[in-house]
Amino acid sequence: MKKLNTLDWVSLVLVIIGGLNWALKGLLEYDLVAGILGEMSMLTRAVYVVVGLAAVYMAVISVQLTKK
């Protein structure tokens, strides 16, 4: 099994943060990222893009993580 490097851990944390943000949005109709950084500001959009890229990265490496 592959050990997680720094990029893997950062991506995992970003995916968890993104998932929690979606849970808040679905349950309470509150977008934490937009609440902190402003509604669709450039920084908010950058956070969304980085979290999305982290999700793609985690999807790609998940195959490697499950190999023996």
Residue 62, pLDDT score? 86
Q: Domain range for residue 10?
A: 6-66
**Residue-averaged pLDDT of the chain:** 90
Query: What is the share, in percent, of the chain residues with pLDDT greater than 90?
Result: 76
- CB of 52 closer than 8 Å to CB of 11: no
C-alpha distances (whole Å) from 54 to each of 12, 16, 27 are 7, 10, 23
- CB of 4 within 8 A of CB of 12? yes
1 domain-assigned:
no
- Chain center to CA of 50: 7
Predicted pLDDT at 56: 95
What is the number of structural domains in the chain? 1
| Tens-digit pLDDT profile for residues 34-65 | 999 988 899 999 999 999 999 999 999 888 77
pLDDT at res. 1: 60
Distance CA 13, CA 29 (A): 22
**Confidence at residue 68, expressed as pLDDT on a 0 to 100 scale:** 60
Q: Count other Cβ atoms within 10 Å, centred on residue 53.
A: 12
